[in-house]
Amino acid sequence: MFAVHPDLLYRFLTRSLVSPNSGEGWLSKLGVQKLEPTKESHSRMLSDKEVIYALHTHNIRPDSFDKYLKNYEENVNLIHSKRTELNCELVASWTVDVGDLDQALHLWQYTGGFERIDQAQTVLSQDESYQKLLKERGNHLRSRHLQYLLAFSYWPPVVKREEKNIYEIRSYRLRPGTMIEWGNNWARAINHRRKNDEPFAAYFSQIGRLYNVHHIWCYKDLQSRKETRESAWRSPGWDECVAYTVPLIREMHCRILTPTSFSPTK
């Protein structure tokens, strides 16, 4: 037996499983339609707000976890003290309980588009206290990554939670050219997941790792997560939405998150 590379298999299926009479392939039967040319950017078609989100992912040295959290809380307080000038605020801050351990995620919101991000970077580059915290934080980290994201327009607005919760971030790497199909399918799929108030936020990448999607869900605990997800599978139509989106995915993984003590959402 020999292994077939997934991309070669994908190309074979999309070429060979096409009916010569109908021009309809196997993937199109699953809902993966050929995209028509458009003069509208995909970002504009999927997101309707001039709000940019920054997702910072920090991999922390295990022996520096507490020092790192103290440093980042000071960082948050400093930025919030300049909130009017910077037009940005922390939406949520988490540490990872299941998945990539010794990791923290921080989600920031910038109102006013990339112009506000440029202005904020200029201000902070000249702030000695911020630069000192940034330098100190480097001693506590193994690596870090930043993505600029847009929110999907079909997702419910972000509502900060006040009671104790856990969160799940499900991250997907999609096949290039499939973001519109993803949005079309999830605009329907989200209706199957609203009743338990579990959707928190959903984003797609603009700068950083491209064709990345992040869905963030909120649960009381792992048991309620299990029950809620099983309930979705009993909802007529959910299985079809899953079947339509699976062919769009190249890679996916999930992490279970706990809010930090200074996270605006709990």
Average pLDDT over residues 199-222: 96
Q: Per-domain residue ranges for the chain?
A: 51-150
- pTM (whole model) above 0.75: yes
- In whole angstroms, what is the distance from residue 224 CA to residue 128 CA? 45
Distances (CA, A) of 83 to 86, 110, 120, 174, 191: 5, 10, 10, 34, 35
* pLDDT > 80? residue 3: no
* pLDDT > 90? residue 168: yes
Concatenate the DSSP letters of all residues of 124-174 into one string.
Answer: HHT-HHHHHHHHHHHTTEEEEEEEEEEE-TTSPPP----S--EEEEEEEEE
* pLDDT > 80? residue 81: yes
Average pLDDT over residues 25-36: 43
* pLDDT > 50? residue 31: no
What is the pLDDT, as a whole number, of residue 46?
Answer: 80
* pLDDT > 50? residue 196: yes
- In whole angstroms, what is the distance from residue 245 CA to residue 138 CA? 39
Query: pLDDT confidence of 33, banded at 50, 70, 90?
Result: very low
Sign of CA dihedral 211, 221, 52, 183: positive
What is the pLDDT, as a whole number, of residue 258?
Answer: 98
* pLDDT > 50? residue 18: no
What is the pLDDT, as a whole number, of residue 236?
Answer: 87
Could you name the CATH architecture of 51-150? 2-Layer Sandwich (3.30)
